[in-house]
Amino acid sequence: MLPFIIRSVVQKTVTLFFISIISFSVIHLAPGEPSQINPMNPRFTPELIKRFRSQFHLDKPLYVQYLIFYKDLFSGKLCSWKDGRPVLKKIWERFLNSLPLFIVGTLLTWTLSFPVGIHSAIKRGGIFDKTATFFAYLFISIPGFFFAYVLIIFVVNTFHVPVIGMKTFGFSSDSIHIFMDRIWHMFIPSVLSATGGIAILSRYVRSQMLEVEAQDYIRTARAKGVPEDDVHYKHALRNALLPFITMFGLVIPGLIGGSVIIESIFSWPGIGRMAYEAILSRDYPVVITLNFISAVLVLIGTFISDLLYMIADPRIKL
Amino acid sequence: MKRGLWATLKKDKLGMLGLFIFVLFFIVAVLGLILTSGRHPIFNPSMIRLEEKLKPPLSHANTEVLLPDQIPPFGIYILGTDELGRDVFSRMLQGAWVSLTVGFVAVGISVAIGIVVGGIAGYFGHHYVKAYHIILSCLFLLAIFFFAKKEWLFLGITSFITISLLFFIKEKSFLKKGIISVDSIITGIIDVMLCFPSFFLILTIVAFIPGSLYSIMAVIGLTSWMGTARFVRAEFLSLREQDFVLAAKALGVSEFRIIFKHMIPNAIAPVLVSATLGIASAILTEAGLSFLGFGVPPPHATWGNILADGKQYLFDAPWLTFAPGIAILVVVLSFNLFGEALRDALNPRLRAR
Amino acid sequence: MTLLSVQDLSVGFFIENEFALAVRDVSFSVKKGEILCLVGESGCGKTVTSLSILRLIPPNGRIVEGRILFKGKDLCKLSEEQMRDIRGKEISMIFQEPLTSLNPVFTIKDQIAEAIMVHENASKQEITDRCITLLKEVGISEPEKRLYDYPHQLSGGQRQRVMIAIALACNPSLIIADEPTTALDVTVQAQILTLFKELQEKYNISLLYITHDLSVVAQIADRVCVMYAGIIVEEGSVEHIFYSPAHPYTKGLLDSLPKRHFKNQKLKSIPGFVPDLLSRPKGCPFHPRCPLTEKLCTEAIPDFKELEDGHRIRCHILG
């Protein structure tokens, strides 16, 4: 176990190192420096530009910029070029906004996918299976923004529920009502992100269950006289769930990956939109930091996945 | 095998429906291209008629106000008009071709890269990159760098070191030591690419490079080959150990032939499935990019464009949202259905017992 | 005393929108304490027959007609719940591939214990002791340690012994073994066969043993049924089959065994191929390959004719 952990950590650190270099260079090699944002602006005198550049170290050689940049990143001193505020702080604020959406979406996805997928597999070809399959394909294929608008039209016309933003503007009341207001606003975006996830995950669960149910040891279990429920939920499920235990580790990168589209439509001030705005305004520190954090999360996620896999499957030697 | 595959596929009615819709879509896209291009297209997607804006589907054109060449075919706006009075149906026709090409070219690129990268990793993976390979490559890069910077002195020194090294290699055995396997390098590259969240990556690149049809296709293709590469690598790794490869080698068949004639046809199954599903995903991605404003620049219509422009008029002119939305849904659905049917047909274990 | 009596069993499958009979009109019986071997090549329907006894055929299969009498009860008429009481308790089954037949995520102990717990109420200690006893019985060394191993940690032979232990857990009167040694080495095969014979002597268990290997038949069978393309072509004691085979197919099978004492001989084989399920010939299914074919053979499946006591064949010409 220990050699695996050490090897894994070393490999992932090396990968992270390469990622840091690549993201840094790609952004800097791309056309368009931030100091050129307003080249036509008469207030940007050559002196101002020079000061701007030296302040952001743009006049130093690339590798020095790289070192300074990452030093600042880790110490939290790195500041956004758009509004001068510390990057980590900005990210943290937006992260807290995205977090409820992420939690609710993920919870919905993972708790609903399994019953649906398992039931579809056990009663393969039945009405439940056919209906679930139909909806799964529908939700996989529908473009997110289109579905969002369909939902908005439907919900607004039927329930007259506020839809845009995190909370109703100017709404102040006691905390229970504020809480409910938040829930209302969170409702459609979470459902939106969950439906796609449920559609994909439940299909995968279904196909895994079907594959396991076709195995010989299921036949042995029946030959032993094991009751049908146990055949499905004890013998088959335990094997079918194996890949999903490892998938769970890959949920972690989702923390930083707020959906740009959903956040744009609902004007939700989350991380996705922040990334989008940062890219548009060439706010390098924010972009690179987000990239870096995302990479770290992916690597942590895969590491946890591998670890869980080793623990869960007795065939893997520890 | 091909005949049996088609017979199995035919039985999956949903999959056949998907294929049928795809063929329909293909025909519509090609027709659309023909009908909407040229100087005086039959269906004109960019004809602005400000007097006729936001008219609902199947409404008649106001022939009194319009010039003769502004009147749409049959005198009706089949799918209504948008906020600039343009015929939505014509725009949809134009957009069909875009969606089709983006889907196929992007996936074509990603599959090509994936097969090559995955194949190399799987087949040649156990070869080791030796120390002198690394040193020589670094020297070569340095030489190019000096050449670009016109530092002739340094260039001369580098060339000298390189040439003398070439003599040393034969003797010093430590230079021949294997440092890292080809497989590790390639999987490392794949892992690095996978760490970048894909939509974010696409957005970044697209924000910097002026958007055009081709750049979008290239970008989507260049950021989605990793899945295919992994499949191909896994298949090649297992196929390489199989007896038929050994048998071919024993017969003296060249490695090139083994790879192309024997291994790739076997490895192609998961690639086909992922390619079909990839087309669906590419179309959705393009629509998403257009929606955010990064797609193909106006006035060229894409389905994502139409949706994006229409979102301001969501409640007043819902057809601007529904027409492209449903179209995308149906096309993507057809690819998904066919892709899944293909996957079931190619998977021997899931056939009904 | 007859334990199991299969009468006129016909089983078919839905394949690609057609329904084909895999097993036609099969009848045989197993006495208490007897080992009956069901012999035939791949695709002759012997596995389907065995699965039908415990009603474990795949969902696209149907028992079309026939009765399966076990201790007087017709198994075809029992409900699923009643069948579950019989499976693992009165009739156990062992399959061909021991690795895939054992659940990879449960320990050996869990899997043997389950067979007991499903049918009996016993305390945990009792169950653990029973498991150890069973493992000893089937010849596994260090049973206390092996209990907590996973299937992939055992060798093929050990896994098959575990399968036998599971089969024995509730003292069944009949064990159905579907080619249990086909996937094992010859030496291990010999050990397993010895084990089966010991169990038969000790506990008077009946064994329905399915195989395509005539040498196995010679080693353990009391009686033999030879199957071809879904029907039984010959049935008799092991002496009848080996010393006075009557049906041309049985003779062909025995002839095709390489003999040790003749050098430079050509290996004999039965000309032609075993027909697949959807393309079985009309009439006696063996007629395309039979040296004795006549017109009648192409029209109707022959009935059983008794040749001598306990020895019968289905052949128009010899019967």
| Chain A with chain C: Cβ pairs closer than 8 A | 69
> How near does any CA of chain C get to the CA of A225, in Å?
4
pLDDT bucket at B105, cuts 50 / 70 / 90: very high
Angle between helices A87-122 and A175-213 (to 10 degrees): 50
Is A225 in contact with C119 (Cβ distance < 8 A)? yes
ipTM above 0.85, yes or no: no
B208: nearest CB among A30, A145, A276: A30
> How near does any CA of chain B get to the CA of C60, in Å?
7
Q: Identify the H or E element spanning C24.
A: strand C18-31
C-alpha distances (whole Å) from C96 to each of A216, A217, B107, C100, C213 are 10, 11, 44, 9, 13
pLDDT of residue B173: 66
Tokens representing residue A86 in the block: 């510390």
* Domain at C2-90+172-314: CATH code: 3.40.50.300
CB C286 within 8 A of CB C275: no
Task: Give the mutation candidate from A224, A231, A235 for the C interface (greatest C CB count, under 10 A).
Answer: A224
* Domain at B2-46+89-127+181-346: CATH code: 1.10.3720.10
| A contacts of B195 (beta carbons < 8 Å) | 15, 19, 294-295, 298-299
pLDDT bucket at C276, cuts 50 / 70 / 90: confident
Q: Identify the H or E element spanning C2.
A: strand C2-15
Q: Which one, of A74, A143, A29, A46, lies nearest residue A293 by Cα?
A: A74
| Nearest residue of B to residue C15, measured between CA atoms | B353
Measured CA to CA, the distance from residue A30 to residue B208 in angstroms comes to 7
Is B311 in contact with A30 (Cβ distance < 8 A)? no
ω before C104 within 30° of 0 (cis)? no
Tokens representing residue B177 in the block: 């030591």
> How near does any CA of chain B get to the CA of A176, in Å?
32
3-state SS class at B175? helix
> If 0-12 CB within 10 Å is exposed, 13-18 middle and 19+ buried, where does residue B263 land?
buried
CB A163 within 8 A of CB A268: no
pLDDT of residue A28: 67
Q: What are residue A60's phi and psi, to 5 degrees?
A: -90, 160
Q: For chain C, give the mean pLDDT.
A: 89
pLDDT bucket at A70, cuts 50 / 70 / 90: confident
Share of chain A above pLDDT 90, in %: 11
Place of tokens 């343009």: B86
Task: Give the mutation candidate from B179, B181, B187, B195 for the A interface (greatest A CB count, under 10 A).
Answer: B195
Place of tokens 């503007």: A169
Task: Give the mutation candidate from A141, A195, A212 for the B interface (greatest B CB count, under 10 A).
Answer: A141
Q: Which one, of B222, B205, B141, lies nearest residue A23 by Cα?
A: B205
3-state SS class at C294? coil
Chains in touch with A (≥3 Cβ pairs < 8 A)? B, C
C101: nearest CB among A216, A226, A242: A216
Q: What is the DSSP letter of C87?
A: B
As a whole number, mean pLDDT of residues C147-155 equals 91
| Chain B with chain C: Cβ pairs closer than 8 A | 5
pLDDT of residue C236: 92
Q: Which one, of C300, B162, B238, B199, lies nearest residue A254 by Cα?
A: B199
**Number of neighbouring beta carbons within 10 Å of residue B182:** 16
What is the DSSP annotation of C109-162? HHHHHHHHHTT----HHHHHHHHHHHHHHTT-SSHHHHTT--GGGS-HHHHHHH
Question: Is residue B351 scored above 50 in pLDDT?
Answer: no
> Which residues belong to CATH 1.10.3720.10 in chain B?
2-46+89-127+181-346
Query: Count of alpha carbons within 13 Å of B148, Cβ hemisphere only?
Result: 6
Query: Count of alpha carbons within 13 Å of C180, Cβ hemisphere only?
Result: 29
What is the DSSP annotation of A187-220? HHHHHHHHHHHHHHHHHHHHHHHHHHHTSHHHHH
CB B232 within 8 A of CB B114: yes
As a whole number, mean pLDDT of residues A264-293 equals 82
| C contacts of B9 (beta carbons < 8 Å) | none
3-state SS class at C308? strand
Which of the listed ranges B139-143, C29-33, C277-281, C306-310 does the model predict with the highest average pLDDT?
A: C29-33
Q: For chain B, give the mean pLDDT.
A: 80
Mark which residues 127-146 of C lie under 8 Å from B by CB: none
**Cα B68–chain centre separation:** 41
pLDDT bucket at A172, cuts 50 / 70 / 90: low
Question: Bridge partners of C11?
Answer: C23, C63
C235 or A176: which carries more pLDDT confidence? Answer: C235
A217: nearest CB among C88, C103, C118: C103
C-alpha distances (whole Å) from C129 to each of A304, B321, B340, C159 are 39, 71, 50, 19
Question: Bridge partners of C31?
Answer: C2
| Nearest residue of C to residue A315, measured between CA atoms | C152
3-state SS class at B215? helix
Q: What is the DSSP letter of C12?
A: E
Measured CA to CA, the distance from residue C124 to residue B22 in angstroms comes to 61
| Nearest residue of C to residue A227, measured between CA atoms | C84
- Ramachandran category for residue C71: left, alpha or beta (phi over 0 → left; psi -120 to 50 → alpha): left
Share of chain A above pLDDT 70, in %: 82
- Check if B349 contacts C (Cβ < 8 Å): no
Tokens representing residue C65 in the block: 């007609």
pLDDT of residue B352: 38
Chains in touch with C (≥3 Cβ pairs < 8 A)? A, B
CB B280 within 8 A of CB B330: no
Measured CA to CA, the distance from residue A58 to residue B347 in angstroms comes to 55
Measured CA to CA, the distance from residue A302 to residue A305 in angstroms comes to 5
> How near does any CA of chain C get to the CA of A6, in Å?
26
A137: nearest CB among B204, B321, B337: B337
Angle between helices B13-36 and B319-346 (to 10 degrees): 130
Place of tokens 């207030």: A43
Q: What is the 3-state secondary structure of A133-163?
A: HHHHHHHHHCCHHHHHHHHHHHHHHHHCCCC
- Check if B170 contacts C (Cβ < 8 Å): no
CB A273 within 8 A of CB A258: yes
What number of residues does chain C have? 319
pLDDT of residue A274: 85
| Chain segment B230-286, per-residue pLDDT in tens | 888 888 888 777 777 778 777 777 777 777 777 777 778 788 888 888 888 888 888
A226: nearest CB among C86, C92, C114: C114
Measured CA to CA, the distance from residue B224 to residue B219 in angstroms comes to 9
| Nearest residue of B to residue C57, measured between CA atoms | B353
Is A239 in contact with C89 (Cβ distance < 8 A)? no
Is C114 in contact with A224 (Cβ distance < 8 A)? yes
- Domain locations in chain C? 2-90+172-314, 98-171
Q: Which one, of A252, A276, A249, A278, lies nearest residue A262 by Cα?
A: A276
| Nearest residue of B to residue A142, measured between CA atoms | B329
Order of all β-strands in the sheet with C61-70 = C18-31, C2-15, C61-70, C73-74
Rounded to a whole number of angstroms, the distance between the first and last alpha carbons of chain B is 19
Share of chain B above pLDDT 90, in %: 3
| Nearest residue of A to residue C175, measured between CA atoms | A223
- Check if B353 contacts C (Cβ < 8 Å): yes
Q: Which one, of B192, B175, B276, B168, lies nearest residue B228 by Cα?
A: B276
pLDDT of residue A62: 67
Q: Which one, of C196, C193, C191, C131, lies nearest residue C165 by Cα?
A: C131
| Nearest residue of B to residue A26, measured between CA atoms | B205
As a whole number, mean pLDDT of residues C160-166 equals 92
Is A217 in contact with C80 (Cβ distance < 8 A)? no
- Check if C104 contacts B (Cβ < 8 Å): no
3-state SS class at C64? strand
Angle between helices A2-29 and B182-195 (to 10 degrees): 60
| A contacts of C97 (beta carbons < 8 Å) | 216
Is B208 in contact with A280 (Cβ distance < 8 A)? no
Task: Give the mutation candidate from C16, C47, C277 for the B interface (greatest B CB count, under 10 A).
Answer: C16
- Check if B352 contacts C (Cβ < 8 Å): yes
3-state SS class at C248? helix
- Check if B351 contacts C (Cβ < 8 Å): no
Measured CA to CA, the distance from residue C75 to residue C79 in angstroms comes to 9
Is A145 in contact with B307 (Cβ distance < 8 A)? yes
- Check if A232 contacts C (Cβ < 8 Å): no
Mark which residues 227-266 of B lie under 8 Å from C by CB: none
Q: What is the DSSP letter of B348?
A: G
3-state SS class at C67? strand
List the Cα angle C239/C244/C248 in 5-degree steps: 125
List the Cα angle A65/A70/A71 in 5-degree steps: 100
Is C105 in contact with A314 (Cβ distance < 8 A)? yes
> How near does any CA of chain A get to the CA of C197, in Å?
22
Measured CA to CA, the distance from residue B58 to residue B61 in angstroms comes to 9
